[in-house]
Amino acid sequence: MFILAHQFAGVVELVDTLDLGSSAARCESSSLSARTTIFQYYFMSEENFIANNFTNLPDTSSYTWSSPSNIALIKYWGKNKNQTPKNTSISFTLSNSRTITTLELNKKSKADNNILFDVYYKDKKIDEFKPKIDLFFRNILKYCSYLKGYSFKINTANTFPHSSGIASSASGMSALALCIMSLEKDLNSTMKEEYFYKKASFLSRIGSGSACRSILGGINLWGKHADVEQSTDLYSIKYPYEIFKDFLDYNDTILLVDTEAKQVSSSDGHTLMKNHIYADKRYKIAQKNVIRLKSILKNGNLHSFTSLIEEEAMMLHALMMTSNPSYVLIKPNTLKIINSIKSYRETTKIPICFTLDAGANVHVLYPKEGEKKVELFIESELKEYCKNYSFISDKVGKGAVQL
Ligand code: DP6
C-alpha cells in the first residue's frame, strides 16, 4: 500500500537528498532554489498518506521533538468539516515559543482500536489535554494504523509560560505529529525526507489547523490558492517564492495582555464563520491578500507590509465581533497598545506593526534594522499594558527539530 502511495505521488528528484534526522535546522533559505528543494512530491492526496500493514513493530520506543508556534500574517478563520481551511493562510514560524514533546510507546499484546495513553505536563500527569489528543489519535488512525499496536506516554512542556494565553495547540500538535512520524520512519526506512515533513504537516493539520504551518522554518503557506501551484488544503508548504531578506529574521515581541483562558475557543470561532454574514466576502479578500503579500514579501515594502498585516488582524476581530453570537476578545489594553504602535510608527517612520491571534495578546512585528529603538519603545511605553509587565521576545525561526 505504502509503495503504491509513493508511485502515485509522482516523485521528481531535483538535487541530493538530506539524511533524515541529520539536518536539524531545515529549509532555512527563503527562495525556491535548487539547494532547498530536495524532493518534489506533486499531487499528494489523502490516499498518499495512508501507511498500513507494517509487521516490524518495535516493542518499545521513544521520540522527542521540539516544535515552534507560528503567527499568521494572512489569517485562517473558517474551516470545512475535515479541518481544511476556507482560505489560504500564510505565517511566520517562530523561534523561541515552542513545545517539547516526548512520545514513549509500548507494544500492546494485541493491536486494537482502543487508544490508551497518558499525558504529562513537565512530568506531572494532567488530563486537561486528553480529549483533544484522543480525538486526534482517532482521526489519524486511518493514516497511521500502526498506532493501534501501542499504548503511549506523552510528556510535554512549553518554553513559554503555561498560562500566558499563548495558544499551544500549533506547537503541541505539531510536536506530537512529528514524534508519530519518527515512529513511522523507523517502520519504513526508505521514507524520503520530503514525505516525512509533508505527512507531519498533514497529521498536524488534523490535530489543529494552524499546527500544520509549524513544521518548517521561515514562512509557510497552507490552503489551496489558484495562483500558488503547489498549494493544498491538506498540508502546509514552505512559502515557494522570493523573500526579501528583512523577512527572514523579522522580530515578533508578544505582549501578554491577558493570560486567562479565552472565552471562546478558536474551534468555536471557526464554527461561527459558517453562517457569518461576511464569510464569503472574507474568503475572497483573504485570497486577494495572499497576492498582495506575495508582492510585498518580494519587494520588501515594509510600509505596505504594516498596512496589510494590521488589516488582517483587525478583520479577524471584526469577524468575531459581527458573528452570531458575537464576542470581543480584545481588551482595553490591547487597544492602547494598538494606538501607541500606530502613533510611534507615524512619528518615527519605523515600520513596526501589530497582529493578533484569537485573543487579547499583541504580536509586535518589526525588522532587525532599528530593533534597538523598538525594544526601548516596548520597554518604556508598551510593557505597562501587559499583565505583570510580561512579554516574550521572539522572531522568525528555523522550524521543528528532533532532540
Ligand atoms: C486566529 O488552528 O487554533 O490563530 O483548527 O480549530 O485547531 P483549529 O483552530 P486553530 O485556529 C487558528 C486561528 C488563528 C489564525 C491562524 O493561526 O491562522
- Longest CA span, the chain: 68
Count of Cβ atoms closer than 10 Å to residue 214 Cβ: 34
Query: Which residue's alpha carbon is at the smallest distance from atom 6 of ligand 1?
Result: 267
Q: Which residues are CB-neighbours of 124 under 8 A, at least 6 positions away?
A: none
Q: Which residues line ligand 1 (CB under 6 A)?
A: 72, 75-77, 83, 89, 167, 169, 208-210, 266-267, 270, 316, 357-358
CATH of domain 2-243: 3.30.230.10
Count of Cβ atoms closer than 10 Å to residue 345 Cβ: 18
Count of Cβ atoms closer than 10 Å to residue 295 Cβ: 12
CA distance 178 to 167: 18
CA distance 324 to 57: 49
How far away, in angstroms, is 252 Cα from ligand 1 center? 18
Cell numbers found for residue 137: 489519535
Strands 116-121 and 39-41: unpaired
In CATH terms, the fold of domain 245-395 is Alpha-Beta Plaits (3.30.70)
How far away, in angstroms, is 200 Cα from ligand 1 center? 17
Cell numbers found for residue 237: 508548504
Residues of the chain with CATH 3.30.230.10: 2-243
- Residue 347 sits at the vertex; the CA angle it makes with 318 and 351, to the nearest 5 degrees, is 60
Residues of the chain with CATH 3.30.70.890: 245-395
Mean pLDDT by 10 residues, the chain (403 residues): 31 30 36 44 85 87 98 97 96 97 96 94 92 96 96 95 73 98 95 96 98 98 97 98 97 92 82 96 98 98 98 98 95 98 98 96 96 98 96 97 98
pTM, whole model, 2 decimals?
Answer: 0.90
